[in-house]
Amino acid sequence: MADQGTRVALVLGTSAGGVGRHVAMLAGGLVRGGHRVVVAGPPSTERAFGFAALGARFVPVPISDRPRPLDDLRAVLALRALRGAHAVHAHGLRAGALAAIALAGTGTGLVVTLHNAATAGGAIGAVYGLLERIVARGADRVLVVSPDLGERMARLGAGRVEAAVVPAPPLPPSGRDPEDVRRELGTGDRVIFLTVARLAQQKGLETLLDVAKALRGPGGDAGPVPGPAPTGPVRGGVTGEPVPEAVFLVAGEGPLRGELQGRIDRENLPVRLLGNRADVGDLLGVARALVVPSRWEGQPLTVQEALRAGTAVVATAVGGIPAMVGEAGLLVPYGDIAAMRDAVARVLADDGLAEELAGAAARRGRELPGEPEALEAVLTVYSGLS
């Protein structure tokens, strides 16, 4: 491992969620381990995550979420000051590419963790492709959150590609009674399916609305499932019986809120947009399953949180989700609305299946790596840098 007292620089771009929390976890752990840590990123990330309060030195660098030539030039110039660090560890494609340009030829070891896939097309997709090539050829180590990302970076010429360890921080227990949570939500005795996601294109929330529509009865609430009966055993009753009423809760905010709410209202869907919530642990405690309809995910923190809470998972089999979930959930191909509908319907109608998946989720959650494993993993990577 890297010697204590060595300087490690962590670099990130604009973040309000998982990437920032991961960098904060690494910064705090490295400082506690006796390492001198510098965090470089937009001032908004310091306000959101408080790196300086964790003992790191924060350096403002204008790394935005999209190309801005003047800011990118300023970022490259600022990142050159990190040469001489034992390791520079950049998080995200843009931060990684700018760090690779800044440190080219300096001999400073560069590690880049890719937390997301570049899914855009057109001109933006071409820019992302260029950034991927810069990272593949400029980083000493590339850490990836899913096997498909690793295969892509290897094809682009990355010399050393390894799996990243990105654990979710523990959810603090609130002590609230589940019945109190249900009363506050106003869900009555309906079965709750929870989605925790930014209201954005990547999250596939139009599929969630399609599923809610398919499970909605003629009166607007969830009722008998239309179309073919759910496949698999139905331990909770006799096949053909009306399934319980369901409500789909979505915790999160984002640019698609207006569009999603408009469709919910027009079609009278049993879906409620809750906005950002600080009580995700409480919501998981009353949900029968976490539903993840995403186009792509790496190592989603919400899936880890659900597994640790012993909440079943119904998700698309994309990115890093299959390896993370294992047998603790029902996985379906992205875009297969019928398969997602049937998976949700099985969990809704079958109490025994829901209990079986919940038990498997709790067991899988206990197996997931935590902060000590993540710190050990990055220190091992840093120690291998020349």
Could you report the per-residue pLDDT of 318-335, keeping only the tens digit for each?
999 999 999 899 999 998
Task: Name the 3-class secondary structure at 208.
Answer: helix
CA-CA-CA-CA torsion sign (219, 223, 225, 229): negative
Which residue is it, tokens 């001198």?
Answer: 36
Q: Is-contact 257 267, C-beta < 8 A?
A: no
Q: What is the pLDDT of residue 175?
A: 79
Task: State yes or no: pLDDT of 121 exceeds 80.
Answer: no
Query: pLDDT band at 129, cuts 50/70/90?
Result: confident
Q: Which of 62-71, 119-128, 343-352 has the lowest mean pLDDT?
A: 119-128
pTM of the model: 0.84
237-269: string of b/e by CB count within 10 Å (b at 16+)? eeeeeebbbbbbbbbbbbebeeebeebbeeeeb
Tell me: pLDDT of 237 over 50: no
Q: Over pLDDT 90: what percentage of the chain?
A: 79
Predicted confidence (pLDDT) at residue 296 exceeds the cutoff of 80: yes
- 356: Cα separation from own chain's centroid: 25
Assign 243 a pLDDT band (cuts: 50, 70, 90): low
**Predicted pLDDT of residue 217:** 56
- Domains of the chain in start order, with CATH, are 7-167+369-383 (3.40.50.2000), 178-367 (3.40.50.2000)
Q: What is the mean pLDDT of residues 68-81?
A: 94
Three-class SS state of 284? helix
Q: What is the mean pLDDT of residues 140-164?
A: 95
Residues whose CB is less than 8 angstroms from the CB of residue 304 and which lie 6 or more positions away in sequence, other chains included:
167, 168, 324, 365, 368
Separation of alpha carbons 89 and 378, rounded Å: 9
Crossing angle between the packed helical segments 257-267 and 205-214, to the nearest 10 degrees: 10
Give the residue among 144, 62, 81, 86 at the shortest CA–CA distance from 323: 144
Confidence of residue 227 (pLDDT cuts 50, 70, 90): very low
Q: Is residue 6 very low, low, confident or very high in pLDDT (cuts 50, 70, 90)?
A: confident
pLDDT over 90 at 124, yes or no: no
Of residues 65 and 252, more confidence is placed in 252
Chain-wide mean pLDDT for the chain? 89
* Spatial separation of the C-alpha atoms in residues 86 and 79, rounded to whole Å: 14
**Cβ(83)–Cβ(108) below 8 Å:** yes
Q: Which residue has the higher pLDDT, 225 or 42?
A: 42
pLDDT class for 116, splitting at 50, 70, 90? confident
Q: What is the pLDDT of residues 251-271, one digit of tens each?
A: 999 999 999 999 999 999 999
